[in-house]
Amino acid sequence: MAPPHLRLSRHGTLRFSRFPCQSMRRWISYRESAEVGKAYAPYLRNFLKKLIVEVESIHGEVLDEIYELYADIITSLKDDQFVEKSMRVHKTITFLFPDGCIDLPSCPKSRKLMVPLQCSLNMLEGDTGCSIWPSSLLLSEFILSFPEIFSNKSCFEVGSGVGLVGICLAHVKASKALYLVLGLCFFTMSPAEQVQLVIAISFCRIVCIRVIVVTLTDGDHLTLANMRSNLELNQLSTDTSLLESYEDPNVVQCVHLPWESASESGLSAFVPEIILGADILYDRSCFPDLVRILAILLNRRKSDSSSRKESTKGFTLDTKCNTNDLNDLTAVTSKGPVAYIATVIRNIDTFNYFLSLVEQANLSITDLTEAKMPFNLLPYMQSYDRSNMRLFTVSSKA
């Protein structure tokens, strides 16, 4: 027998009974209030969409009033620019460094790092990319607590959202200069090696100098636009046109990257040493594409290193060039790139599904939460609970 609020119509389809229909009409009448409509229209839009999908999936008959209300709300949201603007607020995340952190390169003299952000207060309006997710706070604390991990490294974030993690990466000077010397790629590994490279430059021909800045990605164009606004709020630029000639840690690259359409050839321009992601493990339908992207990026540097070794067989440097001095400069990180993923495990089955895909992709995952617990830089934030968050590293087994 059908539930009391549903009944079979004479056509054999499910239809809402009179009671919920009357309740729905009262709800529709309540929604017609201008103030209520503007305040809750995004909620109602998502609720009605879910309701319609669920009823249609069981071949139920959706009331005409529901379709009409859904269409009315969509139209009002598109036409009413006030709604969209009212859902954006400016919020400042202030990282407070404790007494023992004064010697950290990431610690300002005031022991206070303020990050203004334009964000959404409503995760349910379908605008999740413009919300500040808890794990992005943890990953930001991790970057600021261990700046030596990210400084002078090429970093690439997937699902960057409001850009908080990228702003913290820029703060610790996470960027990389890529030099093409005699047709070969060399990564500077430290300031001392940069000095050695300058000496080497005086003896060897330089074909090109390219700077790899922090790269932030997202699959939603509106989220990218909001991200760029946040970078500008923090005195960072997204103009990469001048980076061919000099290194500027205040430039951050924003890239549109829909996971489902990302290809190995499309990712060929990126050779990150560190990949980052915060709160990206909530939608299991996206996991196959996410793991595929991680596998491509985590295996890229090793394959590039092998191809460079193959291409340099029989190659002879200029006799004026001291090859011993260049040995350290030509070395690429032997361990390969690593991904840092901060997440809240909301559903153990969902997380186990991610683990199975990681294993199938020949990747290894390690829980770093206890071994590398960052400083508590947000002690005033009562809603921020680090106890239910985990920090993982993912790397290639190859």
pLDDT at 17: 40
Task: Using only the alpha carbons of the chain, give its radius of gyration.
Answer: 26
pLDDT at 369: 95
DSSP assignment of 355-370: HHHHHHTTEEEEE-TT
Lowest mean per-residue pLDDT among 19-28, 46-55, 302-311, 361-370: 302-311
The per-residue pLDDT for range 362-380, each reduced to its tens digit, is 999 999 999 999 999 999 9
The pTM is what?
0.68
Dist. CA 16–CA 4, nearest whole Å? 9
Among the ranges 35-39, 207-211, 225-229, 354-358, which has the highest mean pLDDT value?
354-358
Q: Are 212 and 174 in contact (CB under 8 A)?
A: no
Average pLDDT of the segment spanning 137-153: 96
Residues in contact with 143: Cβ distance below 8 Å, sequence separation at least 6, in sequence order: 106, 149, 150, 165, 168, 169, 171, 172, 174
Percent of the chain with pLDDT over 90: 44
Helix extents (H) in 80-146:
81-86, 134-145
Lowest mean per-residue pLDDT among 50-59, 61-70, 242-251, 271-280: 242-251
> CA torsion 155→272→203→207, rounded to 10°?
-110
The per-residue pLDDT for range 168-195, each reduced to its tens digit, is 999 999 876 655 444 444 444 455 655 6
Does 282 score more than 50 pLDDT? yes
DSSP assignment of 215-233: EEEES-HHHHHHHHHHHHH
Tell me which of 396 and 186 has the higher pLDDT. Answer: 396
The per-residue pLDDT for range 55-100, each reduced to its tens digit, is 877 877 777 778 777 777 777 665 554 444 446 788 999 999 998 8
Dist. CA 371–CA 310, nearest whole Å? 38
